[in-house]
């Protein structure tokens, strides 16, 4: 991941996609930091890869700041936590990449939207201190000693003959960090939507028209009524497109949009990640928003939805719930916040029959089935052996009593490793 700072060679290589910020004459004094900002833009959006090199003293945490000249808006990021106020953006380390030795580099990325011109920022700060050009300081470049005169300003800087002092290995973390996309999106119309490299992911950006197509198809098992689903170009978590579900009350008003390709891996571990926003709090009655066919359970569904106002899993074959629907069990789950994008992740392990669930990055204790029966949580689920084999993913809405909702889904990812948000 970490690269040595180099000169025009890399600048020429990446000139088509972006530019190295602040190329300067070799006479420039050593700066405390340097930032490479490389953007890959399409009509209304972009991804950006940012490499920051610390030429100052080692730091245990970092925040990189910049200001956009246009209306760029960062929508989601990987390997950094990004906040934006107006045109001002701050990107801070995540838990595992805060340490940055002197001379070391780290990279992060993000996705954003813009209109007009996607001009790159011209100035950056590291922990509040302005960064300079991306050249490696050496004792000769910053020293006026007569034995080493400065390079002529007409000569481009050359690659340093010695690397910056840095640890021989990049900073490591106690747990495996999420990895970022290492390549730009293959198609400007289909951004990576923050997927780990092995993930199958879909942000609905390749959809044409309003009827879900491609790997997605609306489905109404047994009966159909008022429930509808459509591609929506007015609401999106990233890019410009999402899947909208108008879910009505009553079983036959259900609707799901099914994808059999996104689970088409040979793995028996599925990390499902999607973003969802909805208009109406989860009802007291049982509802499902996600269904997955389980080939090892008579093709009955593993369902994820809600009951008693909180998220829950339900196993259709025997109606077991996770958590148990005691008040104490429900209290260990969580509501699904309305009118905001929520990142939902769950891991289903077919090897040992366990489930873990995260809402907006936090593991939900009431939605953890860890194989050991726990009263109020998973003792009902574990009343029999369960080794799921999931064969499809359906997003939608199904109400078994009362409860209607409008939902938008976006940036769906399935992988054998955790995607993160
Ligand atoms: Ca999208």
Distance 410 CA to ligand 1 centre (A): 5
Report yes or no: 376 and 326 within 8 Å, Cβ to Cβ.
Answer: yes
The CA distance from 270 to 45, in Å, is 29
Distance 202 CA to ligand 1 centre (A): 8
Q: How is residue 95 written in tokens?
A: 């838990």
Whether residue 323 has a cis bond before it, omega within 30° of 0: yes
Beta-bridge partners for 243: 231, 409
Distance 56 CA to ligand 1 centre (A): 39
pLDDT of 195 reads 80
Distance 247 CA to ligand 1 centre (A): 20
Q: How crowded is residue 61: how many other Cβ atoms within 10 Å of its Cβ?
A: 12
The CA distance from 153 to 307, in Å, is 70
Distance 192 CA to ligand 1 centre (A): 10
pLDDT of 16 reads 35
pLDDT of 318 reads 95
Distance 416 CA to ligand 1 centre (A): 22
pLDDT of 357 reads 98
- Structurally, what CATH architecture does the domain formed by 3-141 represent? Sandwich (2.60)
Task: Give residue limits of the domains in the chain.
Answer: 3-141, 148-179, 200-415
Distance 395 CA to ligand 1 centre (A): 15
Distance 31 CA to ligand 1 centre (A): 39
Distance 287 CA to ligand 1 centre (A): 25
Distance 207 CA to ligand 1 centre (A): 10
CATH for the stretch 200-415: 2.60.120.200
Classify residue 287 by burial, with Cβ atoms within 10 Å: 0-12, 13-18, 19+: buried
pLDDT of 47 reads 59
pLDDT of 245 reads 98
pLDDT of 189 reads 34
Mean pLDDT for each 10-residue chunk of the chain (421 residues)? 37 36 38 79 70 86 90 78 87 84 80 84 86 50 38 38 38 39 36 71 94 95 94 96 96 95 80 97 97 96 98 97 97 98 97 98 97 97 96 96 96 92 93
Residue 366 neighbours by CB under 8 Å, 6+ apart? 310, 311, 312, 322, 323, 329, 330, 331, 332, 333, 334, 376, 377
The CA distance from 22 to 34, in Å, is 9
Q: Which residues are close to ligand 1, an ion, with C-beta < 5 A?
A: 203-204, 236, 239, 241, 410
Per-residue exposure over 18-34, b if at least 16 CB sit within 10 Å of its own CB, e if not: bebbbeeebebebbbbb
Distance 309 CA to ligand 1 centre (A): 27
Distance 411 CA to ligand 1 centre (A): 6
Q: How is residue 286 written in tokens?
A: 């049982």
């Amino acid at each position: 991941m970490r690269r040595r700072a180099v000169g025009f060679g890399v600048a020429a290589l990446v000139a088509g996609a972006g530019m190295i910020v602040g190329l300067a004459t070799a006479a420039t004094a050593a700066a405390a930091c340097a930032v490479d900002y490389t953007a890959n833009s399409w009509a209304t959006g972009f991804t950006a890869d940012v490499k920051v090199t610390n030429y100052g003293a080692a730091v245990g945490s970092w925040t990189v700041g910049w200001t956009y000249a246009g209306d760029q808006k960062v929508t989601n990021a990987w390997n950094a936590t990004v906040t934006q106020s107006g045109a001002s953006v701050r990107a801070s380390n995540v838990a595992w990449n805060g340490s940055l030795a002197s001379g070391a580099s780290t990279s992060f990325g993000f996705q954003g939207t813009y209109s007009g011109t996607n001009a790159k920022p011209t100035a950056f700060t590291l922990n509040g201190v302005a960064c300079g050009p991306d050249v490696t300081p050496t004792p000769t470049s910053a020293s006026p000693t007569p034995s080493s005169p400065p390079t002529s300003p007409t000569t481009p800087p050359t690659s340093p003959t010695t690397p910056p002092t840095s640890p021989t290995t990049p900073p490591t973390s106690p747990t495996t960090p999420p990895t970022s996309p290492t390549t730009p999106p293959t198609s400007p119309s289909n951004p990576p939507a923050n997927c780990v490299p092995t993930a199958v992911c879909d942000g609905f950006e390749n959809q044409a028209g309003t009827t879900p197509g491609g790997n997605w198809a609306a489905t109404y098992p047994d009966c159909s009524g008022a429930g509808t689903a459509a591609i929506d170009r007015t609401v999106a978590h990233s890019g410009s497109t999402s899947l909208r579900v108008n879910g009505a009350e009553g079983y036959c008003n259900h609707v799901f949009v099914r994808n059999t390709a996104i689970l088409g891996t040979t793995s028996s571990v599925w990390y499902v990640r999607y973003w969802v926003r909805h208009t109406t709090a989860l009802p007291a009655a049982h509802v499902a928003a996600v269904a997955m066919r389980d080939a090892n359970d008579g093709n009955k569904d593993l369902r994820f939805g809600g009951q008693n106002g909180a998220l829950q899993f339900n196993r259709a074959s025997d109606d077991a719930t996770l958590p148990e629907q005691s008040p104490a069990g429900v209290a260990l789950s969580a509501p699904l916040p309305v009118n905001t994008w929520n990142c939902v992740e769950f891991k289903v392990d077919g090897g040992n029959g366990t489930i873990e669930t995260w809402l907006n990055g936090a593991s939900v204790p009431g939605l953890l089935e860890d194989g050991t029966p726990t009263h109020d949580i998973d003792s009902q689920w574990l009343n029999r052996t369960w080794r799921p084999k999931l064969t499809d993913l359906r997003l939608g809405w199904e109400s078994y009593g009362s409860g209607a909702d409008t939902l938008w889904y976006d940036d769906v990812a399935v992988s054998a490793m955790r995607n993160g948000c």
